[in-house]
A and B are shown apart, each in its own frame.
Chain A
Amino acid sequence: MATNSESNLNSAVNVSELIAQNKKKKSINNYMEKLVPTILFLLASITVLTTIGILYTLISQAVHFFMEVPILDFFTGTELKPLSQNPEFGILPLLNGTIISSLVAILVAGPIGIMSAIYLSEYASDRVRRILKPLLEVLAGIPTIVYGFFAFTFVTPLIRSIWPQVEATNILSPGIVMGVMIIPMIASLSEDAMTSVPNGMREGSLAMGTTKLETTIKVVIPAAFSGIMASFVLAISRAIGETMIVTIASGSSKNFTFDLTQSMQTMTAYIVEVSGGEAPAGSTLHYSLYAVALTLFVFTMIMNLLAKYISRKFREEY
């Protein structure tokens, strides 16, 4: 009894302290409630800073380049001789190499990717799909340097044994390997687009007596067309920005040609070559790096926005 009343007494004495403590806790909580969102907002704005950083870096340095090389010469010049006595900085050889390698890639990945998507979404059973899809996605997780090694040490010799005119570094082999790299991207995004076509449409078509193939080609693909197109555009953008495969396997000749058997350089490979080399800071060569990177950035940005626009604009609502 005595202890009880004592503790009662104690707590009675301490009530005012407890209230003070509680108030303090509350004010700390209130403080946290205001502080935390601010900190988190600052963290989220780092991504915006990154974008600003990229734009600032590319533009501020590229400006120096365009003060020395007229912008028109840069975009229409067919000669790229950055290291010669009278250096010439035409980007067309690089654009050419970039576009050709990406075209080869999409010619490989487009048909194979979309046919894989058709199989996975229309024909495969659930069990088969659950096994095949993650396996296919392993391809997307392989580092590009490994693909570069594969293109250079396996695919190129293979092509040359069939077609001897092909040079040791050429644009065909990295193009094909890049195609393999982007297959999972097209397959997966197109499959998503096709799976989201409502079953009622398929069943309606099948009920008219069509085969699965006819339903797929005449009903499912048209309905999923925007998604499929978007996946193509995204895949091309990925191929344009890909670096290590082309750096290793397509060589560094700045050829302005359409001959697939020849060595060509892409925009990304040029950046690797020049930044890894001995371009003295402040030289035109050094600044050319940023002009090329800016072009690359604008190219991929346009493709990415285009993909988003296509999938939003032409999305069919069911």
Chain B
Amino acid sequence: MEKLEVLHNNNKINARVRKNSIWKSIFFLSTLFGLVVLVVLITRVLFQGLSWIDMDFITGRLSTNADIAGIMGAILGTVWVMLVVIPVTLIIGVGSAIYLELYSKKGIIQSFIETNISNLAGVPSIVYGLLGLTVFVRLMDFGNVVLAGGLTLALLVLPILIVSAQEALRAVPGHLPEASYGMGATKWQTIRRIILPAAIPSILTGSILSLSRAIGETAPLTVLGIPALLIPFPNGIFDTFTALPMQIYYWTIDASLVAEYANLAAATIIVLLLILFILNSVAIFIRNKYQQRY
């Protein structure tokens, strides 16, 4: 009788243990699911677009003829937009972070601004497009030029940059500024000479990541009415432009008209992903190389 019960119990335990290991495999496979999709996506894009990439494609002008179409205009457009986004987000973002972390007193104003920033981070990017269209393109009458696109994207990625810069400043250990104050330095001197230099690697990492977010954004640009075909190369911030994501967008939706456009879209995706990959590697490199332990 007792022996039977032990046997019965053993069976029960074995069943529970087996259930555990079965579910463990299911959990593991779920984790792999996303990665499998990632691999399929990348091989698919490479397979479709890689043979279309050559120097002529990179340096060529846009064209409705798929055989000679190139993306130099879109690359230059992306570069010009970044030349607007980088200084604007860096100055506003790092400035705001310094104010919030080091100057503002804990209170209503600070918590109001911080709540506001975290809310802004959740606003859909297309709404920023409408803001840009109404304020920069129409109200300030820039037209759909580099400046309008750059400012719109800058506002879009600003919350991300502020939060990461705040974290970077917070990570600077307290004894550094204290030593500086002890030497008789003023607050701004301490920030400029001690705290900022110590935080710069992390700030750079955050900036590059938010920058790569701006490079990949499409929705706000479609709302701004950024064209994708047959415009001259941009030469400054008041020129009309197109950008890599816009090019992918137009070639994808027009692929039903001209089948080769799908391949051009894939080729452009490869270029875009390559740029993002390089930027991310740089960010990781900076983080690993300059990450100081105090």
Which residue numbers of A lie inside 8 Å of B, CB to CB?
A: 29, 32-33, 36-37, 39-41, 43-48, 50-51, 53-54, 57-58, 61, 111-112, 115-116, 118-120, 122-124, 132, 135-136, 138-139, 141-150, 152-154, 180, 183-184, 187, 211-214, 234, 237, 240-244, 247-248, 268, 271-272, 275-276, 281, 289-290, 293, 296-297, 300-301, 303-305, 308
B residues 18-51 near A (Cβ < 8 Å) are: 19-20, 23-24, 26-28, 30-31, 33-35, 37-38, 40-41, 44-45, 48
A241 & B44 in contact (Cβ 8 Å cutoff): no
B residues 138-170 near A (Cβ < 8 Å) are: 138, 155, 158-159, 162
B216 & A47 in contact (Cβ 8 Å cutoff): no
Identify the closest chain A residue to B24 (Cβ). Answer: A123
Chain A, interface SS category: helix
Give the residue among B40, B126, B129, B255 with the most A Cβ atoms within 10 A.
B126
Beyond A50-B120, A116-B30, whether A143 also contacts B131 by CB under 8 A is no
In the complex, what's the smallest C-beta–C-beta distance from B229 to chain A, in angstroms?
Answer: 13
B58 within 8 A of A: no
B290 within 8 A of A: no
Chain B, interface SS category: helix
B162 & A47 in contact (Cβ 8 Å cutoff): yes
Identify the closest chain B residue to A34 (Cβ). Answer: B188
Identify the closest chain B residue to A41 (Cβ). Answer: B99
Contacts of A296 in B (CB 8 A): 124, 126-127
Which of B41, B45, B188, B266 lies in contact with A32, CB distance below 8 A?
B188
Interface size on B (CB < 8 Å)? 82
B134 within 8 A of A: yes
B residues 104-119 near A (Cβ < 8 Å) are: 104, 112-113, 116-119
Which of A40, A115, A141 lies in contact with B27, CB distance below 8 A?
A115
The 3 closest A-B CB pairs, nearest first, are: A241-B124, A143-B216, A43-B95
Beyond A150-B41, A244-B219, A275-B223, whether A47 also contacts B96 by CB under 8 A is yes
Compute how far the CA of A183 lies from the CA of B36 in the bound complex, rounded to whole angstroms.
Answer: 13
Contacts of A154 in B (CB 8 A): 40-41, 44
Which of A51, A149, A289 lies in contact with B266, CB distance below 8 A?
A149
B residues 193-231 near A (Cβ < 8 Å) are: 212, 215-219, 222-223, 225
B99 & A40 in contact (Cβ 8 Å cutoff): yes
Contacts of A58 in B (CB 8 A): 127, 130
Q: List 17 A-B contacts (CB under 8 A).
A: A29-B188, A37-B99, A41-B104, A44-B96, A47-B158, A61-B134, A119-B24, A143-B216, A146-B248, A146-B269, A149-B252, A154-B41, A211-B19, A271-B130, A275-B222, A281-B138, A301-B122
Which of A29, A41, A180, A297 lies in contact with B34, CB distance below 8 A?
A180
Contacts of B16 in A (CB 8 A): 211, 213-214
In the complex, what's the smallest C-beta–C-beta distance from A110 to chain B, in angstroms?
Answer: 11
A45 & B265 in contact (Cβ 8 Å cutoff): no
Contacts of A240 in B (CB 8 A): 124
The contact string, 1 if C-beta is below 8 Å from chain A, for chain B 240-252, is 0000010011001
In the complex, what's the smallest C-beta–C-beta distance from A157 to chain B, in angstroms?
Answer: 11
B187 within 8 A of A: yes
Compute how far the CA of A144 lies from the CA of B95 in the bound complex, rounded to whole angstroms.
Answer: 30
Identify the closest chain B residue to A274 (Cβ). Answer: B223
B131 & A53 in contact (Cβ 8 Å cutoff): yes
Which of B26, B45, B117, B125 lies in contact with A47, CB distance below 8 A?
B117
A248 & B113 in contact (Cβ 8 Å cutoff): no
Contacts of B100 in A (CB 8 A): 44
Contacts of A41 in B (CB 8 A): 99, 103-104
Compute how far the CA of A272 lies from the CA of B224 in the bound complex, rounded to whole angstroms.
Answer: 9
In the complex, what's the smallest C-beta–C-beta distance from A213 to chain B, in angstroms?
Answer: 4
Beyond A50-B158, A53-B131, A271-B126, whether A115 also contacts B92 by CB under 8 A is no
Compute how far the CA of A60 lies from the CA of B162 in the bound complex, rounded to whole angstroms.
Answer: 28
Compute how far the CA of A20 lies from the CA of B112 in the bound complex, rounded to whole angstroms.
Answer: 44
B82 within 8 A of A: no
Compute how far the CA of A48 lies from the CA of B125 in the bound complex, rounded to whole angstroms.
Answer: 17
A146 & B122 in contact (Cβ 8 Å cutoff): no
A132 & B31 in contact (Cβ 8 Å cutoff): yes
B219 & A243 in contact (Cβ 8 Å cutoff): yes
Compute how far the CA of A149 lies from the CA of B40 in the bound complex, rounded to whole angstroms.
Answer: 13
B31 & A153 in contact (Cβ 8 Å cutoff): no
Identify the closest chain B residue to A55 (Cβ). Answer: B131
In the complex, what's the smallest C-beta–C-beta distance from B205 to chain A, in angstroms?
Answer: 14
A57 & B134 in contact (Cβ 8 Å cutoff): yes
Compute how far the CA of A237 lies from the CA of B122 in the bound complex, rounded to whole angstroms.
Answer: 8
Beyond A44-B96, A144-B219, A271-B126, whether A53 also contacts B135 by CB under 8 A is yes
